Amino acid sequence: MFVSTRSSATLSVSALLQQLSAQLAGRFGDVSVEGEIAGFTRAASGHCYFSLKDADGQSALLRSALFRRSAAQLRFAPQDGQRVRCRGRIALYEPRGELQFVAETLEPAGQGALYEQFLRLKAQLQAEGLFDAARKRPLPDFPRRVGVITSLGAAALRDVAAALARRAPQVELIVVPSLVQGLEAPAQLCAALALANARHELDALLLVRGGGSLEDLWAFNDPALVRAVAGSRLPLVCGVGHESDVTLCDLAADLRAPTPTAAAELVAPAREDLLQQLAHQQQRLRERLTRRLDQMGQRLDRAALKLARPSQLVERERRRLLLQRERLQHALQNRLQLEPLRLARLAERLPQRVHEQLGQHRERLTRLQSQLGLLAPDRVLARGFAWLDDGQGQALTHVAQLRPGRQVRARLQDGSALLDVAAVRQDPLPPV
């Protein structure tokens, strides 16, 4: 039973709250409730705090707590938008007079509607290739101006500015303000992103905001904004929420940072690191120049030694010429000694060679005489042929040279005869 309002006793606030807490504990005892997680946080003490709400969009919100002993037994990582089933008790948090649900157990009861929408959008945009690693670009090594898109009053802006001032004071920070939560946030963020890309003096962009529930960060899951992030001309780092918070803009960005501070640290190398690298390079350059100067000094010393003693060079050249002369004289002597021997060998071989040549010529002459003898006229006449001429010594070889009644002379092997031409007839030559 609840405490009666008709009692005449006047209670203190704490006493009233204690009675109410006792009444609630006795009235409800152990109870189970199902709903979606919102605003889940884990304190340094190990206690977990969150709210439960209905998935149908009702405004009812039940503040809940899961103490460290029970949280240590969790078999999953609770996330905003996740539908869970809790068993525990209703209690009154007396310091604030707030009703809360103290959960003893917490287990998944299926994904919440908002989280299911997140998964559908993720699958759709992933199919468009917006999350592909191949399209992501590297950040500039030495940016001069970095744009940051966030709310002007956000703690994220202060974190980014503080990180850059501490880490890279040489980088100029240019703020492009926009809402980061609410129904109008996606359109403003898209406009801010377009404006930042139109500023050609910027080298990179930061898209940041602090942590919150899935509903608080929902603007960064807007498909139009995700496509704008993927299509950014400038390399973009997205640092939205805390390390456990993941938005679709995080997946589409060129680089994801777990926090806004980490985003600032990623986009600009630390000044101290750059100075250290510069000092290292300077030292290496100094060492190389020193070694080079030492080498050139040694070469100069060697050249100076040569120039300081020209007599040595003259003496070395004189010795070289003497050696060449000795070699030449020796070669001439050897040639003169060998030449008589060579001439003697040639003289010995000359008669034999002349005899061989004469023999070869004699044999050739004999062969030619034999061939010529076969062609002698008397040899031809001896075979039954006759030589005809006109009586004056001119040979007659054609019938056209003859006329009937003309006298010709026929020469045979053993004499000659005068013949009268009775008739002339041209006949074809017999086959040979």
| Structure-token pair, residue 15 | 């006493």
Spatial distance between the Cα atoms of 111 and 93, rounded to a whole number of angstroms: 29
Instruction: Please provide the average confidence, as pLDDT, over all residues in the chain.
Output: 83
Please report the pLDDT score of residue 430 as a whole number. 61
Please report the pLDDT score of residue 154 as a whole number. 86
| Structure-token pair, residue 334 | 């050897």
Q: What's the pTM value of the predicted model, to 2 decimals?
A: 0.48
Residues, the chain, total? Answer: 432
Residue 5, pLDDT > 60, answer: no
Split at pLDDT 50, 70, 90, the class of 187 is very high
**Of the segments 195-204, 236-245, 406-415, 419-428, which one has the largest average pLDDT value?**
195-204
Higher pLDDT pick, 30 / 156: 156
Please report the pLDDT score of residue 126 as a whole number. 93
| Structure-token pair, residue 87 | 């068993």
Split at pLDDT 50, 70, 90, the class of 358 is confident
Please report the pLDDT score of residue 110 as a whole number. 59
Split at pLDDT 50, 70, 90, the class of 31 is confident
Residue 314, pLDDT > 70, answer: yes
Strand partners, 417: 410
Please report the pLDDT score of residue 1 as a whole number. 40
User: What is the pLDDT averaged over residues 64-90?
Assistant: 87
Strand order in the sheet with 387-389: 387-389, 407-411, 416-420
Spatial distance between the Cα atoms of 273 and 140, rounded to a whole number of angstroms: 16
The secondary structure of the chain in percent helix, strand, coil, rounded to multiples of 5, reads 45, 20, 35
Could you report the per-residue pLDDT of 371-391, keeping only the tens digit for each?
Answer: 777 666 777 777 777 878 877
Q: Which long-range contacts (CB under 8 A, 24 or more apart) does 13-20 make?
A: 13/97, 14/94, 17/92, 17/94, 17/97, 18/94, 20/92
Please report the pLDDT score of residue 232 as a whole number. 94
Could you report the per-residue pLDDT of 279-295, keeping only the tens digit for each?
Answer: 778 888 888 888 888 88
3-class state of residue 407 by DSSP: strand
Spatial distance between the Cα atoms of 322 and 24, rounded to a whole number of angstroms: 126
Could you report the per-residue pLDDT of 32-72, keeping only the tens digit for each?
Answer: 888 899 899 999 999 999 999 887 666 788 899 999 999 98
Please report the pLDDT score of residue 336 as a whole number. 78
Higher pLDDT pick, 122 / 306: 122
Could you report the per-residue pLDDT of 239-276, keeping only the tens digit for each?
Answer: 998 877 789 999 999 999 989 999 999 988 766 766 67
Residue 4, pLDDT > 60, answer: no
Higher pLDDT pick, 196 / 99: 196
- Compute CA 415 distance to the chain's CA centroid, rounded to the nearest angstrom: 112
Please report the pLDDT score of residue 390 as a whole number. 79
Percentage above 90 pLDDT, the chain: 29
Contact 131, 251 (CB under 8 A): yes
| Structure-token pair, residue 333 | 């002597």
User: What is the pLDDT averaged over residues 128-151?
Assistant: 92
Please report the pLDDT score of residue 57 as a whole number. 61
Spatial distance between the Cα atoms of 243 and 262, rounded to a whole number of angstroms: 10
Burial class of residue 261 in the structure, from the number of CB atoms within 10 Å of its CB (0-12 exposed, 13-18 middle, 19+ buried): buried
**C-alpha closest to that of 243 among 261, 265, 216:** 261
Q: Which residue segments constitute the domains of the chain, with CATH numbers given?
A: 13-111 (2.40.50.140), 133-269 (3.40.50.261), 380-420 (no CATH)
Please report the pLDDT score of residue 2 as a whole number. 43
Residue type, 73: Q
| Structure-token pair, residue 163 | 């990180």
Please report the pLDDT score of residue 429 as a whole number. 61
Residue 132, pLDDT > 60, answer: yes
Percentage above 70 pLDDT, the chain: 90
Helices 223-230, 113-127: inter-axial angle, 10-degree rounding? 40
Spatial distance between the Cα atoms of 80 and 299, rounded to a whole number of angstroms: 75
Residue type, 232: S
User: What is the pLDDT averaged over residues 398-415?
Assistant: 82
Residue 306, pLDDT > 80, answer: no
Contact 187, 287 (CB under 8 A): no
Residue 3, pLDDT > 60, answer: no
